[in-house]
Structure 1
Amino acid sequence: MIAPTGVLRASINLGNPVLASGSAADPGGITVDLAREVGRRLDVPVELLCFDAARDSFAALVDGRADLGFLAIEPARAAEVSFTEAYAVIEAVFCVPASSSITSVADVDRPGVRVGVKQGSAYDLFLTRTLSQATLVRGSEGTSVFEEEGLEAGAGIRAPVTAYVEGRDGVRVVDEAFMQIRQALAVPRDRPEADVAWLAELVEELKASGFVAEALARSGQSGAAVVAPPSH
């Protein structure tokens, strides 16, 4: 069963403002809407477990505290949770000092370039396996460690990185995205295959019906695009 206790315990990452907002006492956003819709379809109450980072949301799924999560699809996570297809995609970008010679994604992966990342985020995992020469510096936020330690680049989701840059002189965004973050629903690996298939079908239905697009619009988020159904 997806909710073996009779309550759907959904793990919500408040650290991603595109997908969730508000506080633990009053969360909102597309992931909250999706959790409540899954609970409605299962005819069970929903308990929202809110965290400040994807790594903590993921840990709640792995250690059994949560039944449903909302995470970026990454190989390092797929060994421990089962994913649906993506329901939305978010771009990740770099910010750099305005005077930097870095103008493209390719320019970042060079000796001596230190990149700030949010520890355990999807882009931390992605850059860990794709960068060969640059060095990652992990912190609470990619932009925070970039600023605090005077790094050559900071990584993050496009919307908050753009907002960070707009409020500061001497910093700019490298417009080219270095990653397309594919956001999906996830459940612990021990859930039956039939239940995972049911959840995957529901996600495709909610994408096709406009539920996902409407939820994003209600939350005022333009930083995510609905993923088209997979071709058959």
Structure 2
Amino acid sequence: MRRWSLAIGCILLAAFLPGLAAGDEPPNVPATAPAGALARIRASGVLRVAIDATYPPMEFLENGQPVGFDVELAREIARRLGVTAQFIVMDWDGILAGLTSGRYDIILSSMNITPARQQQVDFVEYARLSQVFVTTRGRNIRTEQELAGHSVAVQTNTTSQRWVEQLQQRGIAVREIRAFPGATESFAALKSGQADVIVVDEPVGLYFAHEDDTFVITGQALEPEPIGIAINKQDADLTAAITQAFADIKASGELKRLSERWFGGELGQTAKPRGFWVFSREVVLPRVLQGLGVTLQLTLGSGVLGIALGLLVALARISRRSGLRAVAVAYITLFRGTPLLLQLLFIFFALPLFAGIRMGPMAAGLSALSLNAAAYIAEIFRAAIESIDKGQMEAARALGMSHELAMRRVILPQTFRRLIPPLVNELAALSKDTSLVMVIALPEMLYETKQIAGTYLRPEVYAWAAIGYLIIVVALSTLAQRLERRMEARGT
């Protein structure tokens, strides 16, 4: 009887376990997981969107934030789904693998719809883009036959690269195919003479030709092909919802407004390139002035702190107490003997690991610049103090003053006039050293200018950064001259 009971129990257990393994829940246990991708996204409140942020004007980074046509379209779709778009920047080579592995919900990054990709994912078509030839002025490559003998730049693993490779197989003697990870690198190679022509999506070519009149669109390489939003095949509910959301965006006129903003009108109509002065007024100056404000904060803040700390270190350096002198000498040796860039990196990245002290970029920048400047300013103070005749101190002591009182009332006032020229030089150098904070992503003036030059491929904008630094140095020199004249008038 016990054997029969054991056998029946085993049979029932074997019948019950497959259901649990398949994910079935025991009776009376309510299911809490959302049914489908759309319900999961709405429950989380976030639509995860993958982009390759090297494809202006479709998607690129500005001040570290994603911007572009595709980015705004993704935000509009997310808004109509009742959620917020969260952007995940991916390299183009692995972007499809990330979608199929569930790292994000959709890809909205100007992806061409091809039969091979349609076998892996579903698409919601949202535009049709042609491929164009882009060259520099003086070249006129209009047809695929004219690619023979030229170096062609393309983005890695794109329709453009495969098309040029097919031309080679068909017998067109392209001298070299240069595949770059992003569109910006392709245009940089063309501008520097490392490539003769680029094959790229029409809006990207229009964008760079609009921003830099070095580039010219000379012909159409491929007929318009569809691009789409890539979605996992099992997420049919999400595909349907995005299809409806895009239809609403198109019907409301929002799609047209986005196109006019980012493409300057309908595709196929080349916009007039902006000259240097127009581009500077519309794009460069607002951001350079914003960066100039940060540079001034760093210069003045670290200058004041550096002078205060430098004076204390200088007094310790000439103190009669050997312990204070030793500390001052060690401080000056440390901060003058190591690069400012190393000090900045240590404070921002290493100090949290060693001491648990975490600073924001502005606080870290001010700390590093102040500590470094203080070491140099301390030596300026020391040299100025020691240049005062020793008889001044002896006379003050003979009048009954303590050493500290004599320093404060007699010696230091006489050093101020001698300090002005070297202090101005130090502050001028400090204003230029502020450019190093770009390594911790603090948007000072040179950082902003570098971002503009890299995004728009307009290296001439560095002239505005040079003007900004000149303004600071000239202002400091003018201030120093006025102080010297005022002190002369007072007979100091």
TM value normalised by structure 2: 0.38
Equivalent residue letter for 1:127: V
Of the three residues 36, 58, 62, the one matched with 2:100 is 62
Q: Report the CA distance between 1:191 and its aligned residue.
A: 1.9
Task: Return 126-135 or 69-78, whichever deviates more.
Answer: 126-135
Alignment correspondent of 1:80: 120
**CA separation in 2, counterparts of 1:61 and 1:73?**
15
Alignment correspondent of 2:242: 199
**CA separation in 1, counterparts of 2:164 and 2:119?**
18
Alignment correspondent of 2:178: 137
Corresponding residue SS for 1:64: coil
1:9 and 2:48 matched? yes
Q: Report the CA distance between 1:223 and its aligned residue.
A: 6.8
**CA separation in 1, counterparts of 2:55 and 2:62?**
12
CA contact (8 A) 2:69 2:262 kept: no
Q: Report the CA distance between 1:209 and its aligned residue.
A: 1.8
Task: Return 115-124 or 17-26, whichever deviates more.
Answer: 17-26
Equivalent residue letter for 1:188: N
Of the three residues 193, 205, 210, the one matched with 2:253 is 210
**CA separation in 1, counterparts of 2:167 and 2:92?**
20
Q: Report the CA distance between 1:97 and its aligned residue.
A: 6.0
CA change 1:59–1:161 in 2 (3 A) is farther
CA change 1:189–1:129 in 2 (3 A) is farther
Q: Report the CA distance between 1:204 and its aligned residue.
A: 2.5
Alignment correspondent of 1:184: 228
**What value does the CA root-mean-square deviation take over the aligned residues?**
3.3
* Within-5 A mapping of 1:15-94: 15-23=54-62, 25-51=64-90, 54-70=92-108, 71-75=110-114, 76-85=116-125, 87-94=126-133
1:121 and 2:162 matched? no
CA change 1:158–1:130 in 2 (3 A) is same
CA change 1:99–1:189 in 2 (3 A) is same
Number of aligned residue pairs: give it.
Answer: 216
Q: Report the CA distance between 1:91 and its aligned residue.
A: 4.0
CA change 1:164–1:190 in 2 (3 A) is same
Q: Report the CA distance between 1:89 and its aligned residue.
A: 3.6
Partner deviation per Cα, 1:149-194 (whole Å, 9 max, x = no partner): 7444222332245258623xxxx635222133533212123322x4
Q: Report the CA distance between 1:30 and its aligned residue.
A: 2.9
CA contact (8 A) 2:133 2:142 kept: no
Q: Report the CA distance between 1:147 and its aligned residue.
A: 5.4
Q: Report the CA distance between 1:117 and its aligned residue.
A: 0.8
Normalized per residue, the structure richer in strand is: 1
Q: Report the CA distance between 1:67 and its aligned residue.
A: 0.6
Alignment correspondent of 2:264: 222
* Within-5 A mapping of 1:93-108: 93-96=132-135, 100=139, 103-108=141-146
**CA separation in 1, counterparts of 2:50 and 2:166?**
26
CA contact (8 A) 2:58 2:70 kept: yes
CA contact (8 A) 2:130 2:220 kept: yes
Gapped runs of 5+ residues in structure 1?
227-232
Gapped runs of 5+ residues in structure 2?
1-35, 269-492
Q: Report the CA distance between 1:138 and its aligned residue.
A: 0.8
Corresponding residue SS for 1:198: helix
Equivalent residue letter for 1:175: T
**CA separation in 1, counterparts of 2:246 and 2:186?**
30
Q: Report the CA distance between 1:124 and its aligned residue.
A: 2.3
- Structure 1 or 2, whichever has the larger Rg, is 2
**CA separation in 2, counterparts of 1:109 and 1:151?**
12
TM value normalised by structure 1: 0.73
- Percentage of matched positions with identical amino acids: 19
Normalized per residue, the structure richer in helix is: 2
CA contact (8 A) 1:30 1:216 kept: yes
**CA separation in 2, counterparts of 1:224 and 1:13?**
24
**CA separation in 1, counterparts of 2:267 and 2:141?**
25
Equivalent residue letter for 1:208: A
CA contact (8 A) 1:115 1:152 kept: yes
**CA separation in 1, counterparts of 2:121 and 2:63?**
24
